[in-house]
Amino acid sequence: MGAGRFAPSPSGELHLGNLRTAILSWLFARSTGRDFQLRVEDLDRTRAGAEEVQLRDLRAIGLTWDGVAERQTDRLAGFDGALERLRSADLLYECFCTRRDVADAPRAPHAAPGSYPGTCRDLSDTERARRRAERPAALRLRSATETFTVVDALVGEYAGVVDDFVVRRNDGVPAYNFAVVVDDHLQGIDQVVRGDDLLPSTPRQAYLATLLGAPIPEYAHVPLVLNTDGQRLAKRDGAVTLGDLSTPFEVDGARYDAVEPGEVRDVLLASLGLPAGPLEQALDAFDPANLPRAPWIFDFPSTFGDASTGTPPRHA
């Protein structure tokens, strides 16, 4: 059996939605006898000290992983090798388009909104040389399909757009849809559990895996945590990280007691219909078929008890 993983980007502290997905990734992996790995996706948008804080918070809620946390920046040779394999198969081409160029370009009537229209796909050598002198080129995949279907443990079959997507940005950094496929293959990851906001990009990744001769992982895209306005969690929603909750805090003039990591873990488990306590206890009760299929609405601050009273968190 292979492995599952959680792969945060060290751009800041993990919020409750991230921690909930991490718990689900762990439960899916452990319940199927897989190893569970942690990967720090540090190719882009890193913040000093964020990695250490993220690992600390994951441990604080009881998460364990096999081996050491791996970093993308330690695997640059693997990305170069995968790019060379695609280049040798004539599956890459240079693209000089800006985001505005892509947004404003005309598309065929049946083309999906936001998909790349192929502007740079068939440029002449002369035109490429001219544009190369004006700005660095990104590399795009020369796709031979417009759609690809994946099977998700929670969603079922999902067919999505596959365009000529970027595999290396014009600053030389591997693009997410490329890096995640190479990372998972090199780490032996055969189960990917992540937020369902990433489902639309999954057909691109699965298609790329087939081109690289890599197996397509088993996918499970889980519902997000949203605020009461139906938006993804952000700092404006109050105390949404373990750091925020670790000391008494004030909201709209009302004071709230500090919340221990174990209480946060129990609230997250309750949102999944699982019993409170160490994650190993939740593992005994875990069944993907019973997971909520709708987003969890985080109603801050009532989730963690009433103001100034010290009452325990409400787990319903």
Reported confidence tier of residue 107, pLDDT bands at 50, 70, 90: confident
Mean pLDDT of 83-89: 98
Share of the chain above pLDDT 70, in %: 95
pLDDT digits (tens, 9 = 90+) for 211-239: 999 999 999 999 999 988 899 887 777 77
CA–CA separation, 242 and 238 (whole Å): 12
The whole-number pLDDT of residue 236 equals 73
pLDDT digits (tens, 9 = 90+) for 236-256: 777 789 998 988 877 777 788
The whole-number pLDDT of residue 113 equals 74
- C-alpha distances (whole Å) from 271 to each of 23, 197, 228 are 12, 19, 15
The residue that leads in pLDDT, 316 or 244, is 244
> What 3-state class would DSSP assign to 39?
strand
> What 3-state class would DSSP assign to 249?
strand
pLDDT score of 33 more than 90: yes
pLDDT digits (tens, 9 = 90+) for 270-302: 999 999 999 999 999 999 999 999 999 988 767
pTM above 0.85, yes or no: yes
pLDDT score of 306 more than 60: no
Mean pLDDT of 151-180: 97
* Nearest partner of 285 among 8, 23, 5, judged by Cα: 23
List the domains of the chain with CATH numbers: 3-68+224-304 (3.40.50.620), 75-216 (3.40.50.620)
The whole-number pLDDT of residue 104 equals 84
Q: Strands of 92-95's sheet, edge to edge?
A: 92-95, 138-141, 166-168
Sign of CA dihedral 297, 299, 300, 305: negative
The whole-number pLDDT of residue 310 equals 41
Q: What ranges make up the beta strands (E) of 96-238?
A: 138-141, 147-152, 156-161, 166-168, 191-195, 218-222, 225-226
Reported confidence tier of residue 184, pLDDT bands at 50, 70, 90: very high
pLDDT score of 54 more than 60: yes
CA–CA separation, 269 and 265 (whole Å): 6
Note whether 220 and 192 are within 8 A (CB): yes
Reported confidence tier of residue 121, pLDDT bands at 50, 70, 90: very high
* Nearest partner of 78 among 35, 43, 37, judged by Cα: 43
The DSSP line for 137-149 is PEEEE--S-SEEE
* Nearest partner of 310 among 248, 264, 253, judged by Cα: 248
The whole-number pLDDT of residue 173 equals 96
Name the pairing type of β-strands 166-168 and 138-141.
antiparallel
Sign of CA dihedral 61, 65, 68, 71: negative
Reported confidence tier of residue 110, pLDDT bands at 50, 70, 90: low
Reported confidence tier of residue 308, pLDDT bands at 50, 70, 90: very low
